[in-house]
């Protein structure tokens, strides 16, 4: 007969297997799984430097079993202090760089590839809401970027001030861009 500890452990394991289902939107999880499959198949890695997504891009990629094979690391770059502490010096900062721009998202992605020695990186910066940012960008505005063998960017404008929905929309746009990049370039040769 199972002990109380054994029953308790099995219940906890069953509950843990559904935690990601409760935390991550199903469409977002599917994008993360698609990116993970492509990265693993190609033997390539990814890192993330995200701002207004607050870690959601990383959480989605890490929610896929086997993430240690492709996920190098990530940082939430929500402030200038965080960018300085985690990414400063990785690559040259473009003159006049400001947050929530195409250049900023690319800078984050480029810096993450260098700092974490990954094949690919995702960068994201925006204004999730419910108000706009200090630069005058409205809620629901973000730029996402992918750096690696190719560079891609995308501007997201949701027209919504729903913070959580915007965070999901920004993360989905970033993961779609990563999948696009993975699908449009040949895999890098594996070093012997």
Nearest-angstrom CA–CA distance, 155 and 138: 13
Q: What is the pLDDT of residue 19?
A: 54
Nearest-angstrom CA–CA distance, 102 and 124: 9
Nearest-angstrom CA–CA distance, 70 and 81: 28
33 part of a folded domain: yes
3 part of a folded domain: no
Nearest-angstrom CA–CA distance, 125 and 100: 4
Task: Look at the chain and report how many structural domains it folds into.
Answer: 1
Listed in order, strand segments (DSSP E) in the chain are: 46-50, 71-76, 120-127, 141-147, 152-157
Task: Please choose, from the candidates 53, 24, 19, the residue with its C-alpha nearest in 3D space to the C-alpha of residue 36.
Answer: 24
Range of the domain at 44: 24-183
Instruction: Tell whether the model's pLDDT for residue 15 goes beyond 70.
Output: no
- pTM for this entry: 0.88
Tens of pLDDT, residues 34-57: 999 999 999 999 999 999 999 999
* Distance from the first to the final alpha carbon of the chain: 52
Instruction: Tell whether the model's pLDDT for residue 18 goes beyond 80.
Output: no
Tens of pLDDT, residues 58-116: 999 999 999 999 999 999 999 989 988 999 999 999 999 999 999 999 999 999 999 99
129 part of a folded domain: yes
156 part of a folded domain: yes
Q: What is the pLDDT of residue 20?
A: 56
3-state SS record for 111-148? HHHHHCCCCEEEEEEEECCCCCCCCCCCCCEEEEEEEC
Question: Is it true that the peptide bond before 130 is cis, omega within 30 degrees of 0?
Answer: yes
Which pLDDT band, with edges at 50, 70 and 90, does 13 fall under? very low
Which pLDDT band, with edges at 50, 70 and 90, does 23 fall under? confident
Which pLDDT band, with edges at 50, 70 and 90, does 8 fall under? very low
Which CATH number belongs to the domain containing residue 149 in this structure?
3.90.950.20
4 part of a folded domain: no
174 part of a folded domain: yes
Residues 6+ apart with CB under 8 A from 171: 28, 50, 53, 56, 57, 60, 124
Tens of pLDDT, residues 167-185: 999 999 999 999 999 999 8
14 part of a folded domain: no
Give me the mean pLDDT over the 123-148 stretch.
97
Q: What is the pLDDT of residue 3?
A: 42
């Amino acid at each position: 007969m199972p002990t109380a500890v054994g029953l308790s452990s099995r219940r906890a394991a069953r509950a843990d297997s559904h935690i990601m289902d409760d935390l991550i939107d199903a469409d977002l999880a599917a994008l993360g799984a698609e990116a993970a499959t492509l990265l693993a198949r190609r033997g390539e890695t990814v890192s993330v430097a995200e701002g207004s997504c607050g870690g959601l891009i990383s959480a989605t990629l890490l929610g896929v079993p086997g993430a240690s094979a492709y996920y190098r690391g990530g940082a939430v770059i929500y402030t200038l202090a965080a960018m300085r502490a985690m990414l400063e010096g990785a690559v040259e900062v473009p003159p006049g760089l400001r947050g929530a721009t195409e250049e900023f998202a690319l800078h984050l992605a480029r810096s993450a590839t260098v700092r974490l020695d990954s094949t690919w990186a995702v960068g994201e910066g925006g204004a999730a809401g419910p108000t706009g940012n200090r630069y005058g960008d409205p809620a629901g505005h973000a730029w996402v970027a992918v750096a690696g063998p190719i560079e891609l960017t995308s501007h997201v404008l949701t027209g919504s001030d729903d913070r959580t929905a915007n965070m999901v929309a920004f993360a989905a746009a970033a993961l779609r861009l990563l999948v696009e990049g993975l699908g449009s370039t040949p895999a890098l040769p594996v070093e012997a």
